Amino acid sequence: MSNDKLPTRNENFSEWYNQVVQRAEMADYAPVRGCMVVRPYGWALWENIQSALDTRFKATGHVNAAFPLFIPKSFIEKEKEHVEGFSPELAVVTIGGGEVLEEPLIVRPTSETIIGHMYAKWIKSYRDLPVLINQWGNVVRWEMRTRLFLRTLEFYWQEGHTAHATADEAETETLQMLDIYYDFAVNEAAVPVIRGRKSDKEKFAGAVRSYTIEGMMGDRRALQSGTSHNLGQNFARAFDIQYLDVNNELQYAWTTSWGLSTRFIGAIIMTHGDDQGLILPPRLAPIQVVIVPIWKSEDERQAVLSMAQEVRQRLIQGGVRAQLDDADQKTPGWKFNYWELKGVPVRIEIGPRDLAQKSVVLARRDVTGKSGKSFGVNLETLVPQVIELLDDIQNGLLQRATEFRDAHIVDVSSYAELKEVIQAGDWARGWWAGTTEEELQVKDETGATIRCFPFDQPESRGACLFSGRPAREVALFARAY
């Protein structure tokens, strides 16, 4: 770890982010432009995200499978909007085993096409429906401007792909999966995302309707953190996914897709982090508690380490992910900074004075300085107290982020007001009945896009902030990652 101080978030949020990601050993740049290495600490966080989501997917009847990395070029071209959306971003394999390939292969940017092809083969009758499959894997999109976790050539994600007998069922599935993302984001990651529908301009290439969870980052930019798409019969028609219904008539299936990626790690970092580094939500943190022993003499060292080991053992038996930093070469102060940078929610300090009293000091990561410390915590009540503290921190992070978000969403009723709010870096909420062209004009002139039409809508109607036309919905505008 470098000893230079991090830039503060106010000074340079972007540079703060880059340095935190690398210095906390979450990820590193790979030798190929725009690709990343997710380091063990970052991957452990992703494994906890995977586990929280996978449990929810399986509880709602989904199963996992694995579809190929390579897609024949002709497949991508079958769905008109899909090919337009993804063509500029493709990585193409043209040589295999030393020979030029007859048909080039696309490294999957997403798997609707190849999965659609397989579903057409597997689905024959209404009895085969619904098909509810998810895949954990890697995809590649040839992005020009990349940033670790937020936008990389290769990234990791899950993509769910389902097929249904009716339009209603497909819509219900699309919304159910968005709710699962929401529940995960809010209750596991303490990221208070907003659910909503994407505008036509922003929806997935080939979808009928796209839904999103949008998070407000620490610099108030929006981050699209997960999406769920109702694909209607678009891909079923392109790939011939047909089934015999109860009346023995051939019908096209209705399909959905939904995904959440390693980008969400960026959401966690930028929602909770402070000028000391990461703050990880306890439910997902790879290490929930770090124990830092403090000693001067060799005698003290032995006694302190032995108590520290006992504390670690008790915590692990209590189901807490605890780690003991017993390294000889580093000072306690260095260790405090290091584990703060890494965002471990709770630090336990044990020094010679604590030995006699059989007590320890608890320090919470989200409240720095003395006010975040509890002194003289008795060993006998430590484990329940730590568990309660972890809950407190989890709830506190969510509350803080929610208040921050709500303080920075401003209602606007005119384009002039919208410009002012966006210029100030906040989000603007206002009635919208505009066209895609008008939305593009707003983007060109302000840098803001419609992040979503939030599910949470006023009961009244209003006038479009841009055109004055009668509007049925409010939209959220923001500059976004």
> Rounded to an integer, what distance in angstroms lies between the CA atom of residue 228 and that of residue 187?
19
CB closer to its own copies out of 46 and 338: 46
From the CB of 269, what's the least distance to its own copies, in Å? Answer: 17
Signed CA dihedral, 134, 140, 141, 144: sign only: positive
> DSSP letter at 147?
B
Residue pair 156/53 in contact (Cβ under 8 Å)? The answer is no
**Segment interacting with its own copies (CB under 8 A) among 88-96, 253-261, 367-375, 468-476:** 88-96
Cβ proximity to its own copies: between 88 and 333 the closer is 88
Contact status: 87 vs its own copies (CB under 8 A): yes
Give, as one character, the DSSP assignment of residue 125.
B
Regarding 367 and contact with its own copies (CB under 8 A), the answer is: no
Nearer to its own copies, 30 or 463 (CB): 30
Scan residues 94-123 and list those touching its own copies (CB under 8 A).
Answer: 94-98, 104-105, 107, 114, 117-118, 121-122
186 contacts its own copies (rule: CB under 8 A): no
- From the number of C-beta atoms within 10 Å of its C-beta (0-12, 13-18, 19+), residue 311 rates as buried
Q: Which stretch binds its own copies (CB under 8 A): 10-18, 84-92, 224-232, 302-310?
A: 84-92
Least distance to its own copies from the beta carbon of 457, Å? 38
Tell me how far apart the alpha carbons of residues 279 and 453 are, in angstroms, rounded to a whole number.
30
Candidates 2, 3, 247, 329; binder of its own copies (CB under 8 A) is: 329
Tokens of 373: 């410390």
- The count of other CB atoms within 10 Å of the CB of residue 46 is 20
Per-residue contact flags (x/-) with its own copies for residues 287 to 326, judged by CB under 8 A: ----------------------------------------
User: 123: helix, coil or strand?
Assistant: coil
Residue in 10, 14, 40, 374 binding its own copies, rule: CB under 8 A:
40
Interface pick for its own copies out of 10, 11, 60, 144 (rule CB under 8 A):
144
Q: Rg (Cα) of the chain, in Å, rounded?
A: 25
Torsion, Cα 410 413 419 423, to 10 degrees, reads: -10
Considering the complex, state which of residue 103 and residue 380 has its C-beta at the smaller distance from its own copies: 103
Nearer CB in complex with its own copies: 335/479:
335
Nearest CA among 258, 153, 265 for reference residue 204: 258
Contact with its own copies (CB under 8 A): which of 65, 167, 367, 424? 65
Q: Are 242 and 235 in contact (CB under 8 A)?
A: no
Backbone angles phi, psi at 263, to 5 degrees: -55, -30
User: Closest approach of Cβ 201 to its own copies, in Å?
Assistant: 22
3-state class (DSSP) for residue 137:
strand
Q: Does 47 bind its own copies (CB under 8 A)?
A: yes
φ/ψ of 418, rounded to 5, equals -60, -45
Q: Pick the closer one to its own copies by CB: 21 or 71.
A: 71
Q: How far is CA 179 from CA 170, 309, 311, in A?
A: 14, 42, 39
Position among 3, 4, 32, 59 found at the interface with its own copies (CB under 8 A): 32
In this chain, which stretch among 85-93, 243-251, 273-281, 353-361 interacts with its own copies, using CB under 8 A?
85-93
Residue 160 φ/ψ region, left for φ over 0, alpha for ψ in the -120 to 50 degree band, beta for the rest:
beta
Count of residues of this chain found to bind its own copies when the rule CB under 8 A is applied: 57
Binding site for its own copies (CB under 8 A): 28, 30-32, 35-40, 42-44, 46-47, 63-72, 75, 87-98, 104-105, 107, 114, 117-118, 121-122, 127, 133, 137-138, 140, 142, 144, 153-154, 156, 329
